[in-house]
Amino acid sequence: MTRIGYLRARRKQEIEELKHQIYVDKIYIDLTDEFGFCDYESLKAMLEQAGGSDTIVVRRLNDVADDIGQLCNFLSTLKEKGTELVLLDPMQSGILSDRGYELLSFISNFIKEKESCYQSKQSKPGRPVKPYPSGFLDVYKEYRDGRFNGKEAAKRLAINYDKFRNLVKVFEFKA
């Protein structure tokens, strides 16, 4: 059972301060650039060495990941190994629960799906097309309630009648 520390730091002072805050058997340190980014070589080495009976101590989750996907990967690696994680920042400790991990996973998947949709939209050739004109739903409801005919609906939407009919077909299509 080894107590392992991990730190991402830019200055010697940060390293010295952490060494006085925690008591660990071994410490892994990644040095950062001026913006706080690093290559995570020490983190990777630490994760390879850590076992099921070990405890990893970090200041905060920002030290082990730059985005939610990386954070989810880090936490799932620890779960798979059965390694305990201790955070020095008490405000972040709630994320270590199963519910906190589920929430992070949901957010990570949500972001991936939205990015995928956005990339698909960006890669589609041609001019972007707005599927429905502004106010379509309100006009459609009144049209279906029989308050006016399709030509009047098209006029209210400032589109031609054929376009309105096609939009209604697409809108009402049942898959």
Which tens digits make up the pLDDT trace of 57-81?
998 888 998 888 888 889 889 989 9
Comparing 101 with 48, the larger pLDDT belongs to 48
Q: What pLDDT digit, counting tens, does each position of 142-174 carry?
A: 999 999 999 999 999 999 999 999 999 988 887
Cβ(159)–Cβ(129) below 8 Å: no
Of 3.40.50.720, 1.10.287.470, 3.40.50.1390, 3.30.360.10, which CATH number belongs to 3-96?
3.40.50.1390
Whole-angstrom distance, CA of residue 141 vs CA of residue 52: 60
Domain boundaries, given as residue ranges, for the chain: 3-96, 136-172
pTM score, whole prediction: 0.62
The number of CA neighbours under 13 Å toward the Cβ of 35 is: 4
